[in-house]
Structure 1
Amino acid sequence: MTKPVYSITPFTLLDYPHYPACILWFAGCNMRCLYCYNPDIVLGKGKLSVEDTRDFLHSRKSLLQGVVFSGGECTLHPTLFSLARIAKEMGYRVKIDTNGTKPSVLKQLWAEGLLDYVALDFKGIRKKYHDITLTDTFTTFTDSLMFLNTASIPFEIRTTWHANLLSIEDIETMVTYLEQQGYEGKYFIQYFMNGVQTLSPLPYNNHSLDPIQLSTAKIRVEIRAT
């Protein structure tokens, strides 16, 4: 029996804007981001089957309004579609947290009416993207961003920031890149989470950013607590 889900966070008010939700953490990822604070999920195996997850969602129908599909990278799992269908049939709203490497999955979810909100991780620009993720998948991120923009899907862009990995100039370049791609709205930056185990050991990050200075007429940078 396929077990795609590593664990479930039964309740959150932070991860799906305006809706009480749960989080389904899918095991495995196609990136190895240096700052990742979910190494057990990224490197581990799933523990919960589709049936287990369906039973949980059924038990929370009267308490929750949204389901967040996260990871790891949830779009790697074919079972994402069956679980999204189950969630929608139960009346939940579906949010996808993704690194953007599977734009075809986003397109299919949208075509089937299974997608209500997306959080797209923006890791960096080209070489910095590669250095952080240890992958050469920047073009797929761009494809996902362009699709979300043109399809008018409710979504947000977010970046995890550590001063050793991305300079202030890098963030300014990323804001400019988003503008060039036609993105308008909020751009969330969350500081690296100090004091937790990460895929690669990184020094304590005691630097901060000025969101007002980084914002433009079209893009408003906001710092989001982790």
Structure 2
Amino acid sequence: MERGRPVFSISPFTMLDFPDRTACILWFAGCNMRCGYCYNPEIVFGKGKLSWGDVQEFLLSRMGLLEGVVFSGGECTIHPQIIPFAREVKKMGFEVKIDTNGSRPDVLETLIQENLVDFVALDFKGMTGNYWKITRSDLFKSFEKSLEILLDSSIRFEVRTTVHPDLLDYQDLKEMENWLREKGFSGTYYLQHFRGDKKTIGELGESKMQGVKIESGVWRN
């Protein structure tokens, strides 16, 4: 087991973050992107506090009560501990969901090859022309590789985008939808409406766009 304290905190219970499963959330500290709408600045800029021993103690107390464990952040895949953590969580009988920006396709591929992940939520920040503006990173190609890995696998996954009109307009979203179709994606594409009711990394004003869901390429209010 890798040493260290990569986990910032644990949300003990959720019925929203892992489809069809009762779960907890492990919030991994740190991120390799700086999205202005991110509502977890304390996690992105903070330090981890919890080791595997702390996580294991919590999970042992929830045996028979929880079905899954969500690895989120921040960006959980930047930590070398994620793979050994996932191995131990699976040994305990829990299913694993990964929330990721797709920046570490090598890690994602290892998780899939070792049967350590059951569901993935992949963040689609924007197309290449907007990617730096939104994320302050040049990791689009890594995201694209992660999408391709998921498309070639049998893992259940969804794609999601956080929407703010200062960053993405409807034409941008249509381009993103078309790009996903061209890549062969036909699953569920969620557009998350930025609400602006929490402290974020950037100083974006409140969004006036309504949240919608695209399912199999169909926009739904």
Aligned twin of 2:62: 60
2:59 and 2:115 map into 1 onto residues whose CA distance is: 19
Post-superposition CA distance 1:187-208 (Å, at most 9, x none): 0111113221110111111222
2:70 and 2:220 map into 1 onto residues whose CA distance is: 21
Alignment partner for residue 183 of structure 1, among 180, 185, 204? 185
Provide the aligned length of Structure 1 versus Structure 2: 219
Give 3-state SS (helix, strand or coil) of 2:171's partner. Answer: helix
Identity of aligned residues (%): 50
Aligned twin of 1:32: 34
Give the alignment's Cα RMSD to 1 decimal. Answer: 1.4
Alignment partner for residue 199 of structure 2, among 189, 197, 200? 197
Residue identity in the other structure for 2:188:
K
Cα pair 2:190 2:212 within 8 Å, conserved: no
Post-superposition CA distance 1:148-193 (Å, at most 9, x none): 0011211000001111110011000000000011100210111113
Aligned twin of 1:219: 217
2:50 and 2:218 map into 1 onto residues whose CA distance is: 39
Cα pair 1:67 1:94 within 8 Å, conserved: yes
Cα pair 1:188 1:221 within 8 Å, conserved: no
Aligned twin of 1:155: 157
If the length of structure 2 is used for normalisation, what is the TM-score? 0.95
Cα pair 1:7 1:48 within 8 Å, conserved: yes
Residue identity in the other structure for 1:15:
D
**Where has structure 1 moved over 4 Å in runs of 4 or more?**
none
Post-superposition CA distance 1:120-143 (Å, at most 9, x none): 000000021111000000000000
Q: Can you give the 5+ residue segments of structure 2 that lack an aligned partner in the other structure?
A: none
Give 3-state SS (helix, strand or coil) of 1:86's partner. Answer: helix
Cα pair distance change 1:57/1:219, threshold 3 Å: same
> What is the deviation of 1:210?
5.7
Residue identity in the other structure for 2:140:
F
1:101 and 1:221 map into 2 onto residues whose CA distance is: 27
If the length of structure 1 is used for normalisation, what is the TM-score? 0.93
Cα pair 1:188 1:222 within 8 Å, conserved: no
